[in-house]
Amino acid sequence: MKGMKNKYGLPEKELDSIRARDSVCVYCHKTMKKAGSEEFRGDWSTIEHLNHLPPWNNISTIAICCFSCNASRGAKRITDWFKGSYCLDKGINLNTVTTPVKDYVKKHESN
């Protein structure tokens, strides 16, 4: 099945390595549950596009976050989302997120 792509148009193998890297939510560090499981939906693991604008099928801008963070952020820039009540309440900011998010923000949102 080499070269198989999923609905996101991403190589499944690379997605697996991202899932392994992001073993907890990249934003809130929550231990996530498999999407579709009986667990609380907010704890489900979801594919997160760090970029707020397309292209979405770019493996270098993919991370894994929990459903709650994904839904809260929506299509906002990460740095704009940090200023909202969800992140303020949970203490989520550039200092607390995981390295892939930090690197993305430094590279793409630091202007």
- Residues lying near Zn ion in the complex (CB under 5 A): 25, 27-28, 30, 66, 69
For Zn ion, give the closer residue by CB, 13 or 83.
83
User: Alpha-carbon distance 7 to 97, whole Å?
Assistant: 27
CB of 53 to Zn ion, least distance (A): 22
CB of 109 to Zn ion, least distance (A): 19
For Zn ion, give the closer residue by CB, 12 or 40.
40
DSSP 8-state assignment for residue 45: E
User: Alpha-carbon distance 26 to 64, whole Å?
Assistant: 6
Decide: 22 and 50 in contact? Cβ < 8 Å: no
For Zn ion, give the closer residue by CB, 3 or 91.
91
